């Protein structure tokens, strides 16, 4: 009877320790995944804005023509 009780307690303690370890590991992995997702969103958003601005200011666009005209006017007057 004593041996059964010791075995049962050992199994229960092992399950509690394994559960605590699993919860800790799950939280750690979830935290890392969260930071990876946020980092990817920041980098992707920055790349999107960079390429969009680059395309908007490219040669032959309305904005590029306006900037060039303003630059020429400024150089003539100063």
Number of domains in the chain: 1
| Mean pLDDT of the region 15-35 | 96
The model's pTM: 0.57
- DSSP string of 41-60? HHHHHHHHHHHHHHHHTSTT
In which domain, by residue range, is 9 found? 2-77
Per-residue pLDDT tens digits for 35-55? 999 999 999 999 999 999 988
- Is the per-residue pLDDT at 5 higher than 80? yes
End-to-end CA distance of the chain: 102
Q: Which residues contact 27 (CB under 8 A, 6 or more apart)?
A: none
């Amino acid at each position: 009877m004593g041996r059964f009780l010791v075995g049962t307690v050992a199994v229960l303690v092992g399950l509690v320790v394994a559960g605590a370890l699993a919860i800790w590991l799950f939280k750690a992995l979830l935290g890392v995944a969260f930071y990876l997702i946020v980092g990817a969103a920041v980098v992707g958003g920055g790349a999107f804005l960079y390429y969009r601005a680059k395309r908007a200011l490219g040669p032959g666009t309305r904005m590029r023509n306006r900037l060039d005209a303003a630059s020429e006017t400024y150089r003539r007057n100063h």
